[in-house]
Chain A
Amino acid sequence: MLFIIIHVNKDDIMDNDNNHFNNIYVQTKKLVGYKTIQQCTPLDYKNLGFKSGLEVHQQLYTDKKLFCRCPAGMYFPGEDYDAEVIRHMRPTLSELGEYDGTALMEFKTKKNITYRIKNPTTCTYEIDDTPPFPINQQALDIALEVALLLKTNVVGELHITRKQYLDGSIPTGFQRTAIVGIEGEIPLAEKKVRIIQLSLEEDACREVSDFRHQRIYTTDRLGMPLIETVTYPDLLTPQEVVEAGNYIRFMNRSTNKVRTGIGATRQDVNVSIRGGTRVEIKGVAHIKWFAELVHNEAFRQKSLLHISSQLKQRIKDIKKWDLTYQLIDPSLINPLPPSLKYYADSEIKWVAVNLPHFQDILAHFTQPGQVFGDELRGRLKVIACLELENLIHSQDRNELLATVDFSKIRQLLKSKSLDAQLLFWCPSQDLSTAVETIRERCMLAFHGVPNETRKALADGTTVFERVLPGPDRMYPDTDSAPLPIDEERINKVKNNLPPSIHYRYEQLNKWEISRHYWIYLLRHNLVPIIEKIIAFTNYSPKFLAGFFAQDLKHLEGRNSSSNFDYIHLISLFKFISKHNLSPEIAKIMLPVVFNNPNIELESVLTIIGYQKRNISDILSYIPDLRKKFKSIAKNKNINAERNWIMGNLKLLSIGNYPLDKLSEEVNRRVK
């Protein structure tokens, strides 16, 4: 409906109305029915047909990598390397004899891939100059443990499978991966979420840079053991996505055998809505980002469906639709785009494209701050290697639109009134890929939502990353033999499983631990530590939980690279209990222990200046303190006096006498 209204006076608007872009953006956003996540209720998601599933990748804590004997978890910055190796990736025939869609796209991009190698972390296996060594058994046992926690059906025999990745992130061109278990479940508060599979796989390279036809990776992370937990698309609201993400993460951590820290846990999240398509958002670093990302993706899909229905109304035979394009003179654009500087030594082509019937589609809302034209930009960047800003279209943001004379372009292209135009520029070698990329994306718009993986941005939106690969990219690894997993091995792991996260939730509830602390305690697997401490003391779990989730968290927050072993917490409380100290002294001792984990705890007492005193000693200071207070205090209020005296006695008392009891004594004496 909107389009009819706008088209009445199209040319006037195009040429004169400065807010044309905004008008379309705002109106289409409204038409699509976009609401913020705060405004949405579960019913809204139900009406959208929102469905989401998770793929949680978790690095395992092993000494060595999965298929070679290089050390795991040793990282170097991208600029620090010993040698470089260059590879190109070619699509291959999968075992069913077809090329995979992603494979073809990646091949089109013709990227030079450079691997930076640091000798201590990389051997001939990582750069694919030697076949794999037998799989790391330590990693397999951890994976089995998680497979059992997920209640999956464990396979009888592990088959290493190759999963193709032509982006170059793995020098072989595929990831070695194997399914350990299928069909499990995790309990959320309101429902059970089904698990598709738990697989054990090797981690990929870390990307250093990606510019034009050159992508650089470093191989230190490559080959580290990783498990991937995949859920069914059973998550029906963004809140459920977050809840499931947390559950899986806590469960992985509960084994105490997984890595923590930056990049150790990475999530992909799949989203679809009714009539839409499964789109995968890759590499979400923080679970708290999930909600916004999946919410926006749901509305992006709704927007694309809206665009599809608009186009189908306008175009009688979509099969016959095609764009036209012409090389033009750069004089039609002024000033010249800044991105020209990236192509300094290439011959530049200036290309004007006419998109029949696409009037106003290019400025159609897709995500907060993004429009359909940005979908073209994203694909041009990734597939044709054209750096942003890579195009300007006839309904573009004002500052860009002002640089191009679109009326001339419309004349040149003999555009009709309902057509849209765009102008792009590229090195001549990229021209045909670029045109093909635009044509393909426009034609995909007729069908709604293309199969894509998208990269998460910090603002909750996403950009195109690649075409979503199908099962066609899986084929058996001819370099490794199947490995039986017998009952004995499973039972051994089964007998040492940690309690479920569900059980931990109940435990925390019973202990009346504030919900604010839960995430921290579970993420760091501190509940077993609390259990151990209360087994030999009478300290309350609530005190310990608060102590960890505040004092310990504070210390860790200030020193994020520390590898503080929580076993020292147990020794600390053992010491405190053995010496009959009041547990509050832990708050003062912890910073010292945290920074010097192997220190003698006796000497910590010296460092913090602790002296043993009984309560009558401590209280005997009160008369002198009262005199002193009267002489110095401006505010003679009784509570101020009590607080001031408490403050002075606190340090003498800590470890000797519980502070709450001290406070009672002070209050009794200071009246």
Chain B
Amino acid sequence: MMNDIFKGYKGKALEILKKYNIRVWSEATIKTTRGDFKGIVLPRSENDDDLHIVLKLDNGYNIGIATNTIKQIKEFGYKEAHYKIPEKEFPTSEDKPNIKLFGTGGTIASRLDYRTGAVIPAFSPGELYGAVPELADICNLTTEKLFAVFSENMGPHQYKTLAVAIGEAISQGIEGIVIGHGTDTMHHTASALSFMVQNTPVPIVMVGSQRSSDRPSSDAALNLIHAVKTASESDIAEVLVCMFGPTSDEYGLLHRGTRVRKMHSSYRSTFRTIGDIPLAMVDRNKITPLQQNYNHRRKDTQVNILPYFEQKVSLIYYYPNMQPDIIDSLVDNGYRGIVIAGTGLGHVNKPLYPAIKRACQKNVAIYMTVQTLWGYTHMFVYDTGRDLMSNGVIPADNMLPEVAYIKLGWALGQTEDLDEVKKIMLTPVIDEITEREPYNGYLVFQGGVPEIEQFLKKIHK
């Protein structure tokens, strides 16, 4: 409790607060060598220094007061802020589909935490309805918070729990599933679910936001509307990622869970389908398919849940002059599978060969992917590739490196038999390997080129 009234303060700043009998949320006048300041003492972010006290002024601004300038502090009131998200009962109606939203910790609607500056998600149907009332026009919504972890902390345990929870919801007759997820590793989770939840009768739609919903220009609400619409109305019964197509508030894209990747650290339109085209576009009014081949929605409640994962799998990104001890140390540490993101068509340098050979002899499954992301491994083209294969490296065709990592973990979680693993790895579950790459799959534009500039001027990017 003591710590609670000094939220985030430490060292000198904490000393000063205690000295003058001031707590967080005190309304106080602070006399300093720089003049007087009056406001509410706010919690301080734990990562900030211990030399300042944060004050919220009457006009809403925050400022910091340096402790070494403080002459005196006097409390004249106390005003604790109560975070509250307007909560209204989520309206339901018989003619709307029942949709379930699973929370993993990503932000959909949110409020701010002063202490860490972090965004706390709003999640109950009532809170969501308060923040995004449009949802009630689309479906009847129930929610379940499975975990509250940041995207980067999602891992095998969460994948499996999520898969099982999805299985239960489907067997209970849910008509669509939405999963709120942080964006950083959304594509890892999407591919894990693609393998662990097979033959789903309903859409399983992953969604997040690139701009947190505490800002008016957030993509969160529109992404959520798109995702809920997809879960409710789409005919595509697969694991999908639903995020902004362009950076403009215009439409979302539905990406297949095994072919999607986050491609920009901050853009709204960060998710792209790699090596193929997206499955569909979605806006507030309609879903427009871009591909014809997909698993269709069914009325039954059958689904195969395969929640397996071997943790001792690694993904290494090859660079020139990589030393063999990298591979050796993985093997010596008991790793059972390694995915390499190799250069070009799937290459690494010669000094690694002995280490790779040793690894394969020790029953470590090694799969080759390409760090170009677009394109296939073609290990027969050059000697390097042929040498690697003879040492036991298996090319993973056009499986994305992260997807190969997830799939290898999933395969090794099911069996120790490396032939069996190979069969699992190279038999596509859902387009993680495709037979052909469409000509318009690869699109990385070069800005500045006249035709692209023309395009950008006409089309809202």
Chain A residues in contact with chain B, CB under 8 A?
A: 81-93, 95-99, 103, 124, 127-131, 152-159, 161-164, 166, 171-174, 177-179, 182-183, 196-197, 199, 471-476, 478, 481-482, 484, 486
- Contact A197-B215, Cβ < 8 Å, known A82-B457, A153-B35: no
The answer on a CB contact under 8 Å between B112 and A173 is no
Instruction: Write the B56-78 contact mask toward A (1 if CB under 8 angstroms, else 0).
Output: 01111111111001000000000
Top 4 closest A-B pairs, CB basis?
A: A157-B64, A173-B216, A153-B35, A474-B60
B137 to chain A, nearest CB (A): 15
Distance A313 CA – B450 CA, assembled complex (angstroms): 70
Q: How far is the CA of A480 from the CA of B140 in the complex (A)?
A: 38
Q: What are 6 A-B contacts with C-beta separation under 8 Å?
A: A90-B216, A156-B64, A157-B63, A158-B64, A182-B57, A197-B61
B42 to chain A, nearest CB (A): 8
CB closest chain-B residue, reference A156: B66
* Contact of B52 with A157 in the complex, beta carbons under 8 Å: yes
Chain B interface, >50% SS class? loop
Known pairs A156-B52, A481-B48; A93 contacts B64 (CB<8 A): no
Residue ID in chain B nearest A159 by CB atoms: B62
In the bound complex, how far is the Cα of B460 from the Cα of A83, in angstroms?
7
Residues of B contacting A157 in the complex (Cβ-Cβ under 8 angstroms): 52, 54, 63-66
B204 close to chain A: CB less than 8 A: no
Interface size on B, residues (CB 8 A): 62
Given A86-B249, A97-B85, A153-B37; A475-B64 close (CB under 8 Å): no
Question: Which residues of the other chain, B, contact A86 by a CB distance below 8 angstroms?
Answer: 248-250, 460
For B214, list chain A residues within 8 Å (CB): 92-93, 475, 478
Beta-carbon nearest neighbor of A183 in chain B: B35
Q: Beyond the given A129-B267, A179-B61, A196-B59, please list 6 additional residue pairs across the A-B interface where CB-CB is below 8 A.
A: A81-B457, A85-B247, A87-B249, A156-B65, A484-B49, A484-B52
- Chain B 257-301 per-residue mask, 1 if CB under 8 angstroms from chain A, else 0: 000000011111000000000000000000000000000000000
Q: Which one of A130, A155, A471 lies within 8 Å of B64 (CB-CB)? A: A155
Complex partner residue of B216 from A89, A154, A182, CB under 8 angstroms: A89
Bound complex: CA A86 to CA B221 (Å): 15
Chain B residues, Cβ within 8 Å of A103:
216
Give the residue among B32, B112, B264 with the most A Cβ atoms within 10 A.
B112
Assembly CA distance A552 to B339 (angstroms)? 74
Taking CB atoms, residues of chain A closer than 8 Å to B221 are 90
Chain A residues whose C-beta falls within 8 Å of the C-beta of B456 in the assembled complex = 82-83
**When the two chains form their complex, are residues A156 and B457 in contact, meaning their CB atoms are under 8 A apart?**
no
When chains A and B are docked, how far (Å) is the Cα of A133 from the Cα of B162? 37
Are B217 and A482 within 8 A (Cβ)? no
Closest residue on chain A to residue B109 by CB atoms: A93
Given contacts A129-B266, A481-B48, contact A173 B60 (CB under 8 A): no
What A residues does B215 contact at CB under 8 A? Answer: 92, 128, 162, 172-174
CA of A131 to CA of B215, assembled, Å = 12
Q: Which residue of A lies closest to B214 (CB)?
A: A92
How far, in angstroms, from A166 to B215 measured CA to CA in the complex? 10
Q: Is the CB of B457 within 8 A of A161?
A: no
| Distance A475 CA – B111 CA, assembled complex (angstroms) | 11
Residue of A nearest to B248 (CB): A86
Task: Indicate whether B46 reaches chain A with its CB closer than 8 angstroms.
Answer: no
B248 near A131 (CB under 8 angstroms)?
no
Nearest CB in chain A to that of B42: its residue: A476
Is A482 touching B48 in the complex (CB atoms < 8 A)? yes
Q: A83-B456, A476-B114 known; A471 and B51 CB under 8 Å? A: no
Q: Name the CB-closest residue of A to B127.
A: A93
Q: Does B118 contact A (CB under 8 A)?
A: yes
Contact of B65 among A84, A131, A155 (CB under 8 A): A155
- Is B325 on the interface with A (CB-CB < 8 A)? no
Taken together as a complex, chains A and B put the C-alpha atoms of A157 and B61 apart, in Å, by 12
Q: Of all chain B residues, which has the CB nearest A474?
A: B60
* B28 CB to nearest A CB, Å: 15
What's the Cα separation between A174 and B63 when bound, in Å? 18
A459 to B407, CA, bound (A): 72
A182 and B37 contacting across the interface, CB-CB below 8 Å: yes
Closest CB in chain A relative to B313 CB, distance in Å: 33
Point out the residues of chain B lying under 8 angstroms from A96, CB to CB: 81-83
A97 and B247 within 8 A (CB): no
A478 near B118 (CB under 8 angstroms)?
yes
Residue pair B66, A129 in contact (C-beta under 8 Å) = no
Of B36, B62, B110, most A-chain CB atoms within 10 Å:
B62
Q: In the complex, A473 Cα to B61 Cα: how many Å?
A: 10
Instruction: Kindly identify which residue among A88, A95, A482 contacts B111, using a CB–CB cutoff of 8 Å.
Output: A95
Do A153 and B64 have beta carbons less than 8 Å apart? no
Write the B80-93 contact mask toward A (1 if CB under 8 angstroms, else 0): 01111110000000
Contact call A82/B250, Cβ cutoff below 8 A: no
Instruction: Report the separation of the CA atoms of residues A515 and B215 in the bound assembly, to the nearest whole angstrom.
Output: 50
Contact among B51, B84, B264 with A484 in the assembled complex (CB-CB below 8 Å) = B51
Cβ of B369 within 8 Å of any chain A Cβ, yes or no, is no
Which of B63, B85, B267 is within 8 Å of A179, CB to CB? B63
Q: Which residues of A contact B84 (CB under 8 A)?
A: 97-98
Within the complex, the shortest CB–CB distance from A389 to chain B, in Å, comes to: 32
CB proximity of A165 to chain B, nearest CB, Å: 8
**B19 located at the interface, meaning its Cβ lies under 8 Å from any Cβ of chain A in the complex:** no
Beta-carbon contact of A474 and B61 below 8 Å: yes
B residues in contact with A93, CB < 8 Å: 85-86, 109-111, 122, 131, 214
- Asked if B98 is at the interface (CB within 8 A of a chain A CB), the reply is no
Partner of B461, one of A83, A156, A171, A486: A83
Q: Report Cα–Cα, A588/B268, bound state, in Å.
A: 60
A199 to B62, CA, bound (A): 11
Determine if B213 is an interface residue (Cβ-Cβ < 8 Å): yes
CA distance A90 to B225 in the complex (A): 13
- Residues from chain A with Cβ under 8 Å of B110 in the complex: 93
Residue B211 CB within 8 A of the other chain: yes
